[in-house]
Amino acid sequence: MSTTLTLFLGIFVVLGFASSVALILRLTVAKGRPHAVIDNLFDRINAWWVMVALVALAFAFGKSGVIVLFALLSLLALREFVTLTYTRRSDHLALAMAFYVALPMQYALIAIDWYGMYSIFIPVYGFLFLPIISALRADTTRFLDRIAAVQWALMLAVFCLSHVPALVTLQIPGFEGREILLIAFLVIVVQSSDVLQYVWGKLFGKHKVAPSLSPSKTWEGLIGGVLSSTLLGAGLWWITPFTPLQAAGIAFSINLMGFFGGLVMSAIKRDHGVKDWGHLIAGHGGVLDRLDSVLFSAPVFFHIVRYGFTP
């Protein structure tokens, strides 16, 4: 427990520092006047305080707390994804099943720790049964587009995201009772990679990685951000069952996955002509805008730990 407390104290210190820097920038650079970048920075940091408080609250309730938190995040992410994609009236029942059956079932399977089922429930049974439901309505207009959208929505917003709370079910010898810290490691490393890519990009960014996908992603931001958050991951080895070197390697892998996750999700947004998935989190956009990197890194992190560190 003391590790968790130390960790959250550390995060509060970092956020306090960020808020102070933003305040100084507002007083010196913006001089109290509206300033797009600095105002957005303020919104972002304030949203971080709220998000950290929510995670802290979930952690206080332990395993059930994180399962409930991520089930709710999945619900918000799923609605953002489906809202943006093309479906028809004939998909209504399939969508209702996705929201009201597949989502709660996935998290219930994690709660009872049935690995063999929660790792195939959506990729196999969801994949096969949801198109059957849509096909029974005999509406063939853009059929493949529609069922693919429903499947993608479930895979990303529910299946991938559910691998975050699934980390607490892993039984690692010598690490019993501290599994929840794996979630802290994953989320801190991946989210700080996003933040550090933003900071490095704003300070030194010149050469764009994929201008047509995301104008804000630069090589300078990518390299600086991924390397510095890999160092941060190595520095967090004491909250994990990993050695410092292992922690660095794992942090590097999930940072890369997170970066590519952001790229893929940007491609979907650009294809639909929107900048953000939603508007729930001031300064950040939607829940999916904040979680895009976590979606892609969570299953990889889960399986690295499961195959490498459990008997």
Partner 1 sequence: MLETLARWSMLSVAHVLTGVRGVTTTPLPSKPCVYFGNHVSHGDFALIWAVLPSAQRARTRPVAGADYWEKGPLRRYVGRKVVRAVLIEREREQRNEDPIAQMSAVLAGGENLILFPEGTRNLTDDVLLPFKSGLYHLGRSNPGLPLVPVWIDNLHRVLPKGELIPIPLLCTLHFGAPIEVGEGEDKPTFLARAREALLAQRPAHLVEAS
Count of residues making up the chain: 311
Residue 279 as a binder of partner 1 (CB under 8 A): the answer is yes
Residue 152 as a binder of partner 1 (CB under 8 A): the answer is no
Which of positions 212-231 make contact with partner 1 (CB under 8 A)?
none
Report the residue number, 217 or 269, with the smaller CB distance to partner 1: 269
**Least distance CB 82 / partner 1 (angstroms):** 6
Which of positions 100-119 make contact with partner 1 (CB under 8 A)?
100
Report the residue number, 224 or 286, with the smaller CB distance to partner 1: 286
**Least distance CB 198 / partner 1 (angstroms):** 25
**Least distance CB 86 / partner 1 (angstroms):** 6
Q: Write the binding mask 32 to 71 for partner 1: x where contact by CB under 8 A, - elsewhere.
A: ----------------------------------------
C-alpha closest to that of 220 among 199, 192, 251: 199
Selected from 74, 87, 151, 228, the binder of partner 1 by CB under 8 A is 87
Residue 92 as a binder of partner 1 (CB under 8 A): the answer is yes
Selected from 207, 274, 282, 310, the binder of partner 1 by CB under 8 A is 274
Residue 290 as a binder of partner 1 (CB under 8 A): the answer is no
Report the residue number, 29 or 96, with the smaller CB distance to partner 1: 96
- Please tell me the number of Cα atoms within 13 Å of 233 on its side-chain side: 30
Distance CA(219)–CA(292), nearest Å, equals 19
Selected from 3, 40, 83, 243, the binder of partner 1 by CB under 8 A is 83
Distance CA(129)–CA(263), nearest Å, equals 30
Selected from 32, 116, 273, 311, the binder of partner 1 by CB under 8 A is 273
CB 225 within 8 A of CB 199: yes
Selected from 14, 38, 93, 304, the binder of partner 1 by CB under 8 A is 93
Measuring CA to CA, how many Å separate 254 from each of 20, 115, 188? 30, 22, 11
Rounded to 5 degrees, φ, ψ at 273 are 70, 30
**Least distance CB 60 / partner 1 (angstroms):** 25
Residue 129 as a binder of partner 1 (CB under 8 A): the answer is no
Distance CA(115)–CA(120), nearest Å, equals 9
Tokens at residue 92, please? 């209504």
CB 247 within 8 A of CB 237: yes
Q: How many residues bind partner 1 (CB under 8 A)?
A: 21
Residue 221: CB atoms within 10 Å = 25
Residue 280 as a binder of partner 1 (CB under 8 A): the answer is yes
Residues lying near partner 1 in the complex (CB under 8 A) are found at 75, 79-80, 82-84, 86-87, 89, 92-93, 95-96, 99-100, 272-274, 278-280
